[in-house]
Amino acid sequence: MDTTIEELLARRILTGRGDQTIEVEVYTADGFGKAAAPAGASKGKHEVAFLPEGGIDAALSAFERLVSPELAGVDAAEQYAVDGKLEEVDGTGRFERIGGAVAIAVSMAAARAAANTLGIPLFRHLGGAPARTLPLPLGNAIGGGKHSRGLGPDLQEFLVIPLNPPDIATAVLANLEVHKRALKYIVKADPHFTGGKNDEGAWTPRISAETALKILKESAAEVSKEIGVEIGLGVDAAASSLWNGSKYVYQNEGKERGPREQLEYMARLLDEFGLVYLEDPFHEDDFQSFAELTSRFKDRLIVGDDLYVTNAARIERGGREGATTAALIKPDQTGTLTRAHEAVKTARRYGMRIVVSHRSGDTEYDTLAHIAVAFGAEVIKTGIVGGERTAKLNELIRIGDYLGKWGRISSL
């Protein structure tokens, strides 16, 4: 089959949050693929530029002038060639000329076109024969921070993850049941709660971080007893959004914490609630505090998102300094699948676990499920409910069926 790219098209579409983003179609001589770029609300300052100066119109113009002519004739099955050409036509290192949205949409659409042309699943095309491990789903059950427009707890996400599920379908169900069960406890804690959810489908009550964790701990214990699956708790502090340059400002809580106070607060949450997962407990340039916390909790997933932004060089520094035990991988943060894979390989050299993640403004595409399996990720962070979230979860279930006895579920 001929995987040579013959034509590319781009358009603006909407994310689940209603923001505009880029969708790209790639046509090979014998196949077709398409993909769209997700968009985050809580962006790290070291990410690539999502759009060029001039916004989405400028991005579409750059696609027509620079990307489409140059990619025609490239072999879609050679991912490094596709992604290398994107870097070449942009020339800035941060995709400031064509926009990271264009870059990642083209990169993923070309991969999909190659897989479809070859008649194999996307995860198999990207990961080869070794790609047969299904990641544990990590889901946002109660939300706060920027994702909840400052109306919930100051910390951004309160998460659940099944630790020993027999299969991916049971793992998905476990998170869903905790999400459902949490509602009855939320209503008791916040009698005025009307069932509101944030961008990722998480409940958004006006409660404290500690109350949110107590609710999830009790809900998880109930579900765990009923279905026989241990369920762990996690937090995404998104601390960069709390940092004012000298202190962490907890507006709803009415407190300010200095760097040392923040470290001790994060340590207390890890201890008190037995968290298995803690993401971005400090601001995006504080490698030292990450390393100190990690040295005290080496058995937990201490995860860098804004700290790393899927950048191999920053992950290299984090690995040298012992900053984290895991790296969050969001391909759109770095612009191409090749760069994202380099970030994964760098993290692996330092013994880090891999958490492949969605964005708060995601799309209905199931591409992320395939990327997580292809990269051998231990965890996929992709929400619990909502169409753009369940699209990835449902695809994981399908991949599990496809792999059959040859597949296995990850463990921590």
Query: What single-letter DSSP state applies at residue 63?
Result: I
321 is catalytic: no
Torsion (CA) 183, 184, 185, 187 in degrees, nearest 10: 80
- Cα 6 from Cα 28, distance rounded (Å): 5
Beta pairing partners, 326: 303, 353
156 known member of a binding site: yes
- Cα 148 from Cα 344, distance rounded (Å): 30
218 known member of a binding site: no
- Cα 336 from Cα 87, distance rounded (Å): 9
Q: What is the DSSP string of 245-297?
A: SSSEEETTTTEEE-HHHHHHHHHHHHHHHT-SEEE--S-TT-HHHHHHHHHH-
30 known member of a binding site: no
11 known member of a binding site: no
50-53 long-range Cβ contacts below 8 angstroms, 24+ apart = 50/99, 50/100, 50/101, 50/332, 51/99, 51/100, 51/101, 52/95, 52/96, 52/97, 52/98, 52/99, 53/96
279 known member of a binding site: yes
333 known member of a binding site: no
Catalytic residue among 146, 217, 330, 392: 330
Check: CB of residue 318 under 8 Å from CB of residue 302.
Answer: no
34 known member of a binding site: no
Residue 381 host element (H or E)? strand 379-381
Crossing angle, helix 387-403 and helix 168-189, to 10 degrees?
Answer: 150
- Is residue 99 helix, strand or coil? coil
Catalytic residue among 23, 47, 177, 200: 200
Rg (CA), the chain: 21
- Cα 97 from Cα 66, distance rounded (Å): 10
Residue at token pair 């231990």: 378
360 known member of a binding site: yes
200 is catalytic: yes
236 known member of a binding site: yes
- Cα 161 from Cα 204, distance rounded (Å): 19
- Is residue 304 helix, strand or coil? strand
Query: What single-letter DSSP state applies at residue 150?
Result: T
359 known member of a binding site: yes
Binding site for substrate: residue ranges?
147, 157, 279, 305, 357-360, 381
- The binding site consists of 147, 156-157, 236, 279, 305, 330, 357-360, 381
Q: Which residue numbers belong to the known binding site for (2R)-2-phosphoglycerate? A: 156, 330, 359-360, 381
Positions marked active-site = 200, 330
* Feature table: binding site for Mg(2+): 236, 279, 305
